């Protein structure tokens, strides 16, 4: 069972999760395909369920597949699509930036209609 990046990552793309991934299964879209959200994705066939990414994500956008909130269930299939279109993706490059504040995370939840 893989971990899933949800739309809480859209436009955030903090790569703290990629920094701790031992198998480099976290990708970003780099092929210019407008059909993909501006976020990171976890390749479901490469994820080894190490659990490192979930607590590392400062936006709290990553969930274990069977714990993805109902509002984000479409993210399961959205993460699977990279297995079929891997040519549009590259392993996410780690770039450090300031972590979001608790208020920014709460505002992001609200923007996406998510209440934990």
* pLDDT average, residue stretch 53-76: 96
What is the reported pLDDT for 98? 87
Contact indicator for 78, 40 with CB cutoff of 8 Å: no
pTM metric for this prediction = 0.92
What CATH number has the domain spanning 3-111? Answer: 3.30.70.20
Mean pLDDT value of segment 29-46 = 86
Contacts of 95 (CB under 8 A, 6+ apart): 15
Q: pLDDT tens across 15-26, in order?
A: 999 999 999 999
Domain boundaries, the chain: 3-111
pLDDT digits (tens, 9 = 90+) for 65-98: 999 999 999 999 988 888 888 888 999 999 877 8
């Amino acid at each position: 069972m893989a971990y899933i990046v949800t739309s809480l990552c859209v436009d955030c793309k903090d790569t703290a999760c990629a920094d701790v991934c031992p198998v480099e299964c976290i990708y970003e879209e780099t092929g210019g395909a407008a059909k993909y959200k501006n976020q990171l994705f976890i390749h479901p066939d490469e994820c080894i369920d190490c659990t490192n990414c979930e607590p590392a994500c400062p936006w709290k956008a990553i969930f274990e597949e069977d714990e993805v909130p109902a509002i984000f269930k479409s993210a399961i299939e959205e993460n699977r699509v990279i297995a079929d279109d891997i040519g549009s993706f590259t392993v996410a490059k780690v770039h450090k930036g300031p972590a979001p504040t608790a208020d920014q995370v709460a505002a992001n939840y609200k923007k996406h209609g998510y209440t934990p």
